[in-house]
Amino acid sequence: MSDGGHVWWEDAVVYEVYPRSFADADGDGVGDLPGLRSRLGYLADLGVDAVWLTPFYPSPLADGGYDVSDYRAVDPLLGTMADFDGLVKDAAAYRIRVIVDLVPNHCSSAHPLFRAALAAAPGSPERARFIFRDGRGPGLPPNNWVSQFGGSAWTRVTEADGEPGQWHLHLFDTSQPDWNWRNPDVPALFEDVIRFWLDRGVAGLRVDVAHGLFKDPDLPDIVERRPLSAPSPYRHRPELKALYRSWRAILDSYPDEGFPGPRTAIGEVWYDVPGTLRPYLATGGLPQVFNFQLILAGWQTAAFREAIDSALALTGGSRAPWVLGNHDVARPASRYRLDEGFTPQTVAELIALGDRNAEVGARRARAAALILLALPGSAYIYQGEELGLPEVTDIPDDARRDPAFRRTNAEHPGRDGCRVPLPWARTGTGFGFSLTQDGGRPAEPWLPQPPDWGRHSVDSQLADEHSFLGLYRTALRLRRVHPALGRGTLRWLDREDSSLLCFAREPGFILAANLGTAPAPLPAHREVLLASGPVTGGGLPPDTAAWLSA
Ligand code: GLC
């Protein structure tokens, strides 16, 4: 099952792949599964244990693939099922496990079951799989819930007689109808989907909007703006507990010997206090949930320390992996240009900042990477973080794809800036993102890349051990061999200089990170194993982290 009673996911480093932006093998400007397959060697050299693929299923792409029209297929733009099977097989040869996304809160309005619901009459069994209601007055939706992407959470449908009729609920885009989890067809469908992917050899599932799914059957109005952590008519419902226990039973029923070992499921639970995660971590529930505290923490020692302490108190880090970024939030190399943690306003603030502070952001992101990878437990890295990619803030309005941009009438710039296709080469169309079979010129990438993207490319960093990529590769190599790293505990080393974040891990490891503005003396140590920037006799410069042997 594992080494010494431990399972692989407890300290795995998992690399998040946004397939449309990772690598394109057929030159159409959209990343695909063969592209990812051809770059597995890069991921093996980087040193990750698993990849998590965001949705690659057939989708009209109203929400970057999180609007799924078929849960058991590969979008033809991204490849075939044979490509997926080949990917899992090749990844296994590199000892890389594959985790796929499960999107159970909603589907796409192009899903055949939703089309059937639209074609059927109010009150029909087809409609009962979704949340259809009559309005509460002329032209008025059933309640006051708002979509996560802006506007009402209800859209009115046209009935068979051509007249406006019932409304359907969508917590996200209007084309993402919410499933009715109280209808037995829905859990049955998802059990099949879970088994379908586990049968194909995936090591786990990332559960989208895991705090959603069930809604209060009375669909009451929201009377006040609640924190994300508070139970609400559509968040953190008690019914989730039994559901996740049933999924856990399925996961545990899969063979746990050899590769890929015990299967995991990791829930996306957005919250603003870590206690919110507690019910999800109950015994027998989801094996893991994301811990977004480091995304929410600003660049201050106290904020980092609190983020780390609160998550450790909850789980010890193995069941709530650490994350600095993902496909929904502004990239760390840009986010740390501000001193505050991430909020939905961050992208707008970065746009307003123009070119200022770029160096500071990059330095801090390098230091944050060493903090992340020194923490006890598992960590997730979002593609491009290892290249230090900045958030792209100047995407023209007409090239933006995120529904958050459209539905807020451009008030929210959206999440496209962290989804720009990766630069693999210094020059050329798409900076090596797209290859063509005949060596011809590929199409332009589906989201425009900045003109200087090539300087962040894999090719321009590979040979330089001081590059971002060099830092990540060295850190991951050390993490694999150092007995103190991975699962375990940490002990804070109290410092009078409060700008120094400093902890020890046994045996013989110290992390020191300077989140202040003046150089700080290093704690007593034998050797500097790795540092995110130059360390001189004068101590640890601001915005720098070091791994030390004690
Ligand atoms: C999750 C995904 C996000 C998507 C949303 C709706 O938060 O990470 O990208 O827009 O769910 O599916």
10 Å Cβ neighbour count for 517?
8
Closest CA to 489 of 311, 306, 233, 254: 311
For ligand 1, say whether the CB of 209 is within 6 Å of any of its atoms: yes
- CB of 208 closer than 6 angstroms to any ligand 1 atom: yes
Q: Tokens 């989907």 map to which residue?
A: 193
Tens digit of each residue's pLDDT (9 = 90 or more) over 123-175? 999 999 999 999 999 999 999 999 999 899 999 999 999 999 999 999 999 99
Distance 359 CA to ligand 1 centre (A): 30
pLDDT at 431: 98
Low-confidence ranges of the chain (pLDDT < 50): 1-2
Answer whether 216's CB lies under 8 Å from 237's CB. yes
Q: Ligand 1 in contact with 416 (CB < 6 A)?
A: no
Q: Write down the pLDDT at residue 350.
A: 96
CB 533 within 8 A of CB 506: no
Q: What mean pLDDT, rounded, does the chain reach?
A: 95
Q: Please, are residues 24 and 32 in contact by the beta-carbon 8 Å criterion?
A: yes
Catalytic residue among 268, 402, 416, 543: 268
CB within 8 Å of 26: residues ≥ 6 apart:
32, 34, 35, 436, 437
Residues 6 or more apart in contact with residue 175 via CB below 8 angstroms: 60, 62, 63, 67, 108, 109, 110
Q: Which pLDDT value is given to residue 204?
A: 98
pLDDT tens, position by position, 303-327: 999 999 999 998 877 999 999 999 9
User: Whose Cα sits closest to atom 3 in ligand 1?
Assistant: 328
Which residue in the list 32, 67, 101, 208 is annotated as catalytic? 208
Per the annotation, the verdict on 268 as an active-site residue is yes
Between CA 370 and CA 390 the distance in angstroms is: 18
Helix (H) or strand (E) holding 329: none
**Cβ–ligand 1 contact at 74 (below 6 Å):** no
257 is catalytic: no
